[in-house]
Structures are given as C-alpha cells and as structure tokens.
Amino acid sequence: MVNTKSLFFLLWLIPFFTHAQVTRLSAEVDRNPVMQNEYFALTITANDDTANNALNTSALAKDFIIGRTSVSRSTKIINFDASKETRWQILLAAKQVGTTTIPAFSIDGIQSSPITLEVVADTPNAMHNQDVMLKAKLSKSEPYVDELVTYQVKLYLAKDLQRGVISAPEIKGAQVKQLGEDKDSTEIVNGIRYRVIERVYGITIDTPGKVTLVGAKFNGDIINQNQSTNLFAFNESRPVQASAEDSTLDVLDVPSDFNGQWWVADLAMLSEKWDDQQPFEVGVPITRTFTLVASNAEDYNLPSLNVKAPANVKLYPEKPVRQSILREGRLISQLTQTVAMVPTQPGPLTLPAISIPWWNPQLTRVEYATLPERQIDVAPSAMATSTPSALSSNLGNSSSNAINSTDGDESVSVNSALTQLNNSSLWPWLSLGFAILWLITLWAWWRARKTSFNAAPAHLTHSQMAPTQANEQALKRACEQQAIGTIMTLVPSVCSDKLGVNLSLVELAGYAPAVAATLAQLQRHAYGQEENHDSAALCTQLLKEIKQLAPANLQRSELSALNP
C-alpha cells in the first residue's frame, strides 16, 4: 500500500521536472491603430519557462520608442497536465505616422508572426481614445534670469490607477522643485470622464539664452476591467506611459539699468514691527522686526536686509528667517529679520529710510520696497547719576560739605574760646575735642557710604523677587533657543537684579566684565562671518557667569574705581 502511494506521488511530480522546449511563440498589441508618440502594449508569450534575456527586442528601436519591459511567468495544471508560460510585456510608442511593422521574434528557433501597425497623427480630436494623457503648461516662455516659472502638469486617467509615478521636467542650468501638494479632481473630455491629478513645479533658470525643457513623464499601471461573467476572474493591470511635450524657453538677461541685488517678483512689500512709543535710553536695545513679502518669487532669492544706522548706534542683526506657501496657484515668499539697535549717545536720533530694489516683469521696470526714516529722542541712561565715577564724586563732595558745615557752625564759638583761653591751660583739651569731632564725622561718612552699597541687595522684598526670577527664566529660555536679540535685552535686567543696581548694556562692562566679555563674543559669533562656532556653549557660559554675580562683586568693582 505504501509503495503504491509513493509511486502515485512520483507520477504526479513528473510534469514539474519535465523540461519542454518552446513550441509556440505569439505576439499581440492591445490596440491597433495607435497614435504617434502614444504608448501601447506589445505582449509576447512563450509556452515554456524561459529566461528573461531569451527574447531579443533590439529590432524595435528602429521604428519605436521602447519603454518599460515587464516579465511574468505562470504554471497551469489540468488533470495532471502541467503547462508553463513566460510573458513579456513591452511599452512602445511609434516614431513616425503611417504603416509600420513589428518584426517577428525568435526563441529556440520558434518565431512569432509579424504585426502590421497603423500609426495616426497625434491630434486633439484623436485623444478621446486614450486611457492616459499627460498635459503640461508653462506660465511664460520668456522669463528673466532667476524669475520663477510655474510648470503645471495634469495627468488624465480614464481607468483606475493601480500604481504610478510622475517624473519632474528636466532642464539644464535650472532648479526644479514641486510647489505644494497634488490636487485630485475630475474632468469630462470628449464625453469621457477622467480622473485628473494636478501637480505644479517651480522652475528658476540661472543663465540667459534659449534652453530646452524636457516634459514631465508618467509611468504606471492601470486596471483593465474584466468583462468575463466568471465570478472568480481577476482584473488585470496594464502598464502605461505618457509624456508631456517638450518646450523651449528664451531666458532674458538682467537689465543693464538695474542696480543692487537682482531678484524678480510680481509684487513686493516691506513692513516693520516695533514699539515706537517706548522710552528710548542710552544702552537700552531697540528691537525692530522687518518683514519682506513677495509674490511669485522663491524665498531663497529674497535679499537680506542691509539695515544702516548712525555712528552712535550699534547694530546687532539676527539671521533672517525664510518661508514660502502656495496660495491660489501663486507662490508667496516671506523673509523676516530682527535687528537690535543700541544707542550709545543721548539726543535726537534719525534712523535712515530703507529701500530695496526689485524687478517687476509685468511692467518691465525697477520698483522699490521702502520704509520711511524714523525720528526718535534718546534720553540719558537712568544710571548716569549713579555710575562709579559719579558716585565717588558725590560721596567726596558730601563728606567735604559735612566737614565744612561742622567747622562753619562752630567757628564763632571757637574764635571766642580762643580769645578767652588763649593763655589758658584748657587749650590742649579743646584741641582733643576737635580731633574727636573730626573722627566722628569721618566715621559717619564711611557708615553712610557702606549702607548705600549694601542696602539695595539686603532689603529686597518679595514683590521685587518675582520679576527677578521671571527674568532669569526668560533668559534661560532665550539661551536655549540662542535668540541673541532677546538675550541682549534680558542680560542687563538680570544683572541689575543680581547686583542691586540699575544697569544698561553700555554700563555692564564696569560692573560685570566677565559677563560683558562673553556677551560680546556671543554677538561676534552670531552676527560675524565665522562659520564654525558653538553658540550653545557660549550661552551656557553666560548663564554660569551671571549666576556667580553677587553684590560683593559690585562693591569690589566700585572701590577699585575710587582708588586711583
């Protein structure tokens, strides 16, 4: 019984190991006639499991554009009779209009029959038979150098799409990128409903002259609906390709009368945001945020703002932030730049006007995005009367006035006493009294001076502590984000809270030289031309040095300033 089952199993496996040569080779196309440059499918079938390279298709290159080739295999077993098939499916597009012949193919000496193919011209009236169409449209054919040109691609699908890829157009000496996301809609063309997938590319060309744009391409598979009444039949997919027409562009050079950094836009506008109602003081940063908005321009083409200021103002510009968005088929780009201005002298101050030239291709002329000049009044620093030198002078004057006042009040009694006691033995005691009085005055002056330095940090109330902690937390967040403009604004406030003295940015070096040196180095790294630097390490060092500040440091700094 066991031997019978084994024999039966071996007999069943014989068809799978029996090698049969190709005895039949057939070729067919999915439609005939076809349009010029329209892809159609050529299917070649061999009744055996054959290697992929067994079929030589080089003869097709003479009259056809050869697209994607796919190979599939299948095995059928009916009543213990196994049959195998190898199928090549090749996408072809006819190069010339007229009658052409697909030649016969040969495998193992077996040939297929040639196919006579009718090729008609590619006309709009003949497009109603196409399952896949790819159409493209340029926004303009004569752009300027670096002008944004939009390239709109529409893929028309009359059948369900199984998979597919749209390839971007190709052009030498240009930058091509997709703008926004794909749009999906439907259109009716010649009575046939098509699914339409729309995509927009942005093209900027770097050099003038005539250039050729190779159209976008589509490569994918569509599903052929099976007309069989068999419930178990599957829908088959068919590979398809489509190409948009090539285009020629005549790129115009930069006009000779344009001065400045070249960039092109349909519309440009410059605005600013700042608090022009705030009190302006020496050493207190003034933050101005400029925004340049342009239509139909790439964000990387927007020029950085060259903000100028008088000699008595220090500028600290931050790095510009660029972004863009596609809105109603137009690319809107924006450049935002923040500049911190620190006045160094009091008095009236004129901030110059800003003018940015740009080229309007619609009007073919130069236009300007402008901001008017600003007039402000800079007040002296609030610390002008309490700097170390002024404090030393005031204290010196106060002590001398106190001694002179004491001597003046007692001058009358002293003179009379001298007259009465000129020859008396009380003169030594009177001299001793004057010496003691002078020592008391000197001690009172020293006590008042010490109290003035130590009173502020020694008597901070809870209401004063809250803003101090808030400023420190804000400075810590600014250091984490490496926001230099915000750091410059907060450092004087935090140092003032630490030292108990109201400080400005200019006066910071006199009280906390280490903090001022680190802040200056951070500014040079952020706004200079250096590329390799670690701003995060400098921010950490700055926080550490501020944490080490104490009122005692202030006292030592001012005592050294008083002693010549």
The count of domains in the chain is: 4
Q: Average pLDDT over the chain, rounded to whole?
A: 78
What number is the average pLDDT over the span 523-536? Answer: 64
Examine the pLDDT at 229 and tell me if it is beyond 50. no
Q: How confident is the model at residue 241 (pLDDT cuts 50, 70, 90)?
A: confident
**294/212 same-domain check:** no
Q: What is the pLDDT of residues 442-489, one digit of tens each?
A: 777 766 665 554 444 444 444 444 566 778 888 888 888 878 778 888
Q: Count of CB atoms within 10 A of residue 476's CB?
A: 15
Q: What is the pLDDT of residues 248-261, one digit of tens each?
A: 999 999 998 898 89
**H or E element that contains 443:** helix 427-458
Please report, rounded to a whole number, the percentage of residues in the chain having pLDDT higher than 70. Answer: 76
Q: What is the pLDDT of residues 438-450, one digit of tens each?
A: 778 777 776 666 5
278 close to 376: Cβ distance less than 8 angstroms: no
Please report, for the domain that includes residue 178, its CATH number. 2.60.40.10
343 close to 313: Cβ distance less than 8 angstroms: yes
- Measure Cα distances from 346 to 151, 224, 291, 341, 451 in Å: 56, 82, 29, 14, 31
**446/525 same-domain check:** yes
Query: Comparing 39-48, 310-319, 507-516, 524-533, which segment has the lowest mean pLDDT?
Result: 524-533
- Cα angle 547, 551, 552 (rounded to 5 degrees) comes to 105
Q: What is the DSSP string of 335-398?
A: EEEEEEEEE-S-EEEEEPPEEEEEEETTTTEEEEEEE--EEEEEEPPTTTTSSHHHHHHHHHHH
- Domain assignment present for 2: no
pLDDT: which is higher, 16 or 138: 138
**134/240 same-domain check:** yes
What number is the average pLDDT over the span 75-89? Answer: 80
- Domain assignment present for 260: no
- Domain assignment present for 421: no
Cross-strand bridge partners of residue 34 = 119
**155/209 same-domain check:** yes
- Domain assignment present for 550: yes
Examine the pLDDT at 401 and tell me if it is beyond 70. no
The predicted model scores a pTM of 0.58
DSSP 214: B
Q: Give the C-alpha separation, 441 to 424, whole Å.
A: 27
Strands in 374-519 per DSSP E: 374-379
**374/393 same-domain check:** no
509 close to 521: Cβ distance less than 8 angstroms: no
What number is the average pLDDT over the span 350-379? Answer: 92
**245/291 same-domain check:** no
Examine the pLDDT at 400 and tell me if it is beyond 60. no
**130/115 same-domain check:** no
**117/82 same-domain check:** yes
Q: Which of 121, 141, 160 is the last residue of a domain?
A: 121
**58/170 same-domain check:** no
Domain interval for residue 476:
386-405+438-564
- Domain assignment present for 427: no
pLDDT score at 545? 87
Question: Taking Cα atoms as reference points, which of 237, 290, 235 lies closest to residue 268?
Answer: 290
Examine the pLDDT at 533 and tell me if it is beyond 70. no
Please report, for the domain that includes residue 356, its CATH number. 2.60.40
Alpha-carbon dihedral sign for residues 6, 10, 11, 12: positive
152 close to 137: Cβ distance less than 8 angstroms: yes
pLDDT score at 128? 46
